Structure 1
Amino acid sequence: MEITPSADAPDFALSPDPPIRSRRVAVLRLVRTALSGLVWFAIVVILLGVGAAAGSTAVWATDAKVPPQVAAFLRRTGVAMPVRAVQVEQAPVKSGLYDRELVTGIYDRASPSIVEITTSRGERRGSGSGVLISPNGTVLTNYHVVRDATSIEVTLLDHTRLVATMLGRDPQDDIAFLRLEDAPPSLQTLTLGDSDELRPGELAIAIGNPIGLDRSISVGVISGLGRTLRDGDRPMRHIIQTDATLNPGNSGGALLNAAGEVIGITNAIERAAGRTGFGGIGYAVPSSSVKRFADRLLAGEHIRHAWLGISGQDVTPSAARELGVTVSRGVAIGSVVGVGPAARAGLRKGDVITAVDRAPVETMDAFGAYLDRRYRPGDRVTLTISRGSETIETMATLEPWPEGDMAP
């Protein structure tokens, strides 16, 4: 930036007591002088402000007239004396979180790997998003996007439409793998990142097809980790929360980190009662859940998660008084499915689970997440139960979650 003062700027000093007939001229000179001083003062303020805020360097040229009052002010403030023009060199400025070059670069690399998915269920049609994860045409999406579909069609970047079939599915984690039929060679793909390394506040970029607007991008942050959502009574665990804008059609799309890696598959939004549209809270299935069963899903398996067959609530000191239990932490059983694993192990409504595998139980979410991560259907788990004044240790054989929503 270059600021060039007028070459004929007048001095501030005026001759005293001008003649009557010259007063108009004197007034005009006074106005000119005041304006000139204001201009110089503004220049100095700007220079001081820019220098302080951006770490800029002022480089002055030669031979310009500076009012003495301005010169004195500059000397007092320690600013170099200007003599003709100023050139300010500013360091590159990034607006905090948002880095335009980074985000646009990620979009350019990632968006060709985002596909649109169209499904038919009889006369009903639906749409969503998917992510190409292998050059031979494997697509990762949400299970709910393709659930019960009688036909699945995938649209690529160049508008090519291909038929897809389901490979494997994990309904509880809301994950499905599709295979494209007659896929062109060397499709551009995205890499799965490590969602376990995420921290709240990190950059989050969502790309998908909201309401049919193909390959739309929104930018936000990771707002929270380890959330639990419920599809009916069936929990989805370890969910990522983000404020990147999501809308219907984003389901199955990519949530990317600052390296352009897929760290989540966007699958849900939170809506306040009586409101429509995005309210600032969106969710994504973490890439760690995808990786956990990836080999089995690619082999065409239907993933079933371990199920105990209870509902419960956290026990805190205040809840313990209300429930009339003698322990101050654990999970108080609210209901037991009559034909489930917990019932077969002798658990009852009102029991408090205080430990699993002899490790303390603090919350229902933590207890459920532990069973989900550590066990498969058919495995046996050791539970410690508080019942009245008794402490009981029992073994339960876990079963697959029922296909319907009959049980917690």
Structure 2
Amino acid sequence: MADRVGRTLRAFVAVLVSMLLGVALTLGYLTASTGGRVGRSLLPVSIEAPLSRDGEASKAHLFDEQRVMDVCERAGPAVVAIESRVGQRRGLGSGVIIDPEGIVLTNYHVIRNATQLDVALSDRTRYTGRVLGTDPQNDLAVVRLVDAPGGLPVVPLGELEDIKPGALAIAIGNPGGLQRSVTVGVVSGLNRTLRDTPARAPIREVIQTDAAINPGNSGGPLLNSRGELIGINTAIEVVNGQRGFGGIGFAVPVTTARRYLPRLLAGETIEHPWLGISGGDVSQQIARERGLTTRGGVYIEETTGDGPAAAAGVQRNDVIVSLGGHTITGMDDLGERLDRSFLPGQLVKMGIMRGRERLELTVTLGKWPERLPPTR
């Protein structure tokens, strides 16, 4: 089942314009907050109790119960409930304290557009929250607790190097307002890519888990067997507007949070580079159907309005084969290269194949727009 989902998540889609094409299933994801609907083809977010599915009630017994209880005892006090107000609407999500001075890591969609944030600690002490920095594309945000004393409990940041599928995964959060609820499962997969996100942009290197995630869990921690933070719970899968396969949840990896944390703490809104293309990997089938002479790279289906790629002269049916002197093997490779090596506004050399001719174009990278313009 996980392999099937992995193939679907990696299907031929427009990564850089986050456009779903016609694949076997219409996929979306339900954000786990009670603040409203986000994404495409998603379930309305309603408060639900985390009911057990068949066989799930006994799942925790597959693990060392004492270890799970020890992790919850250590990490539980650092998990907070975040109530957001947007006009007359209220949303409920979760967060995790990562600094004893009152620094909370959570999801961007939990605090998005909030005019007021109330944060409740495990001992029911409440603080006003102030947003420091946000990364809408990766669905991350950092919140400071106003006038909080020092010495608050924290969850340490973990590492993913030793995490493999099958590793213990513990989710703590506030589903349906039920504070510090604990669910247990395993890491079902690594390096997934979520396409249909609140920012209409892909989130890469995502952790897949079968630990139950429900509305209100958003922003809460996904923990390893040592009680360290390995991810921020962000989404569950839905299919055609309904809950899809059971036991498929996703968390933004700690590696992504660690990469941007200094800038988030400095108060930045993280901006990501944007090309403005729609396309996919050059598979053997596509190469054969389109008469392409290259293997590997990114095939251009469409360019976006007057976006960066179109302005540089990129055309439909071109194939991107290099960026900044580095060979591009596919769409995910292109996205990762853009995110890790470049910033909006930078000039970058891009190698393309147009028929049998290789061209080198200079592209001025844009920043990912809040609303994607139409393609052409």
Short-chain TM bin: 0.7 to 0.9
> 326, 336, 340: which one pairs with 2:293?
326
Question: Residue 107 of structure 1 corresponds to which residue in structure 2?
Answer: 72
Question: Residue 131 of structure 1 corresponds to which residue in structure 2?
Answer: 96
Aligned to 2:72, what secondary structure does the other structure show?
Answer: helix
Query: What is the alpha-carbon distance in structure 2 between the residues aligned to residue 128 and residue 278 of structure 1?
Result: 23
After the TM superposition, which of the residue ranges 353-362 and 270-279 deviates more from structure 2? 270-279
Task: State the AA in 2 paired with 1:298.
Answer: L
Higher relative contact order (CA 8 A, sep 6+): 2
Question: Residue 207 of structure 2 corresponds to which residue in structure 1?
Answer: 240
Q: Does 1:264 align with 2:264?
A: no
Cα distance per residue 1:281-339 (max 9 Å; x no partner): 11111111111121111111111011111111111111112223222322111111232
> 189, 194, 219: which one pairs with 1:224?
189
Task: State the AA in 1 paired with 2:270.
Answer: I
Query: What is the alpha-carbon distance in structure 1 between the residues aligned to residue 211 and residue 287 of structure 2?
Result: 39
After the TM superposition, which of the residue ranges 232-241 and 314-323 deviates more from structure 2? 232-241
> 365, 375, 383: which one pairs with 2:350?
383
Query: What is the alpha-carbon distance in structure 2 between the residues aligned to residue 191 and residue 278 of structure 1?
Result: 32
Task: State the AA in 1 paired with 2:301.
Answer: G
Question: Residue 305 of structure 2 corresponds to which residue in structure 1?
Answer: 338
Question: Residue 47 of structure 2 corresponds to which residue in structure 1?
Answer: none
Q: Does 1:306 align with 2:238?
A: no
Aligned residues of 2:133 and 2:265 also touching (Cα < 8 A): yes
Q: Does 1:144 align with 2:95?
A: no
> 327, 348, 365: which one pairs with 1:398?
365
Question: Residue 251 of structure 2 corresponds to which residue in structure 1?
Answer: 284
Question: Residue 176 of structure 1 corresponds to which residue in structure 2?
Answer: 141
Query: What is the alpha-carbon distance in structure 2 between the residues aligned to residue 301 and residue 270 of structure 1?
Result: 30
Query: What is the alpha-carbon distance in structure 2 between the residues aligned to residue 97 and residue 259 of structure 1?
Result: 17
Query: What is the alpha-carbon distance in structure 1 between the residues aligned to residue 61 and residue 290 of structure 2?
Result: 49
Cα distance per residue 1:374-400 (max 9 Å; x no partner): 211122332221111211122222121
| Shift in Å, 1:235 | 1.3
Task: State the AA in 1 paired with 2:86.
Answer: R
Q: Which TM-score applies when normalising by structure 1?
A: 0.73
Aligned to 1:270, what secondary structure does the other structure show?
Answer: strand
The RMSD of aligned alpha carbons is 1.9
Q: Is the alpha carbon distance of 1:267 and 1:318 closer, same or farther for their aligned partners in structure 2, counting shifts above 3 Å?
A: same
Question: Residue 353 of structure 1 corresponds to which residue in structure 2?
Answer: 320
Q: Is the alpha carbon distance of 1:277 and 1:248 closer, same or farther for their aligned partners in structure 2, counting shifts above 3 Å?
A: farther
Aligned residues of 2:84 and 2:92 also touching (Cα < 8 A): yes
Query: What is the alpha-carbon distance in structure 1 between the residues aligned to residue 229 and residue 356 of structure 2?
Result: 50
Task: State the AA in 2 paired with 1:176.
Answer: A
Query: What is the alpha-carbon distance in structure 2 between the residues aligned to residue 327 and residue 399 of structure 1?
Result: 27
Q: Is the alpha carbon distance of 1:155 and 1:262 closer, same or farther for their aligned partners in structure 2, counting shifts above 3 Å?
A: same
Query: Of Structure 1 and Structure 2, which has the larger fraction of its residues in helix?
Result: 1
Query: What is the alpha-carbon distance in structure 1 between the residues aligned to residue 352 and residue 315 of structure 2?
Result: 10
Aligned residues of 2:208 and 2:249 also touching (Cα < 8 A): yes
Question: Residue 119 of structure 1 corresponds to which residue in structure 2?
Answer: 84
Aligned residues of 1:117 and 1:152 also touching (Cα < 8 A): yes
Question: Residue 369 of structure 1 corresponds to which residue in structure 2?
Answer: 336
After the TM superposition, which of the residue ranges 288-297 and 272-281 deviates more from structure 2? 272-281
Aligned residues of 2:237 and 2:243 also touching (Cα < 8 A): no
Aligned to 1:108, what secondary structure does the other structure show?
Answer: helix
Task: State the AA in 2 paired with 1:206.
Answer: A
Task: State the AA in 2 paired with 1:122.
Answer: G
Rg larger in structure: 1
Aligned residues of 1:267 and 1:284 also touching (Cα < 8 A): yes
Query: What is the alpha-carbon distance in structure 2 between the residues aligned to residue 168 and residue 260 of structure 1?
Result: 25
Query: What is the alpha-carbon distance in structure 1 between the residues aligned to residue 61 and residue 287 of structure 2?
Result: 46
Task: State the AA in 1 paired with 2:253.
Answer: P
Aligned residues of 1:162 and 1:183 also touching (Cα < 8 A): yes
Query: What is the alpha-carbon distance in structure 2 between the residues aligned to residue 226 and residue 122 of structure 1?
Result: 37
Question: Residue 21 of structure 1 corresponds to which residue in structure 2?
Answer: none
Question: Residue 76 of structure 1 corresponds to which residue in structure 2?
Answer: none
Query: What is the alpha-carbon distance in structure 2 between the residues aligned to residue 404 and residue 376 of structure 1?
Result: 19
> 194, 205, 216: which one pairs with 2:159?
194
Cα distance per residue 1:29-48 (max 9 Å; x no partner): xxxxxxxxxxxxxxxxxxxx
Aligned residues of 1:119 and 1:149 also touching (Cα < 8 A): yes
Query: What is the alpha-carbon distance in structure 2 between the residues aligned to residue 407 and residue 133 of structure 1?
Result: 40
Query: What is the alpha-carbon distance in structure 2 between the residues aligned to residue 356 and residue 215 of structure 1?
Result: 46
Aligned to 1:102, what secondary structure does the other structure show?
Answer: helix
Query: What is the alpha-carbon distance in structure 2 between the residues aligned to residue 330 and residue 293 of structure 1?
Result: 28
Query: What is the alpha-carbon distance in structure 2 between the residues aligned to residue 311 and residue 97 of structure 1?
Result: 44
Aligned residues of 2:237 and 2:244 also touching (Cα < 8 A): no
After the TM superposition, which of the residue ranges 124-133 and 335-344 deviates more from structure 2? 335-344
Aligned residues of 1:196 and 1:288 also touching (Cα < 8 A): no
Aligned residues of 2:305 and 2:374 also touching (Cα < 8 A): no
Cα distance per residue 1:176-233 (max 9 Å; x no partner): 0111112133111111112344322211111111111111111111111111112263
Aligned residues of 1:153 and 1:162 also touching (Cα < 8 A): yes
Aligned residues of 1:117 and 1:129 also touching (Cα < 8 A): yes
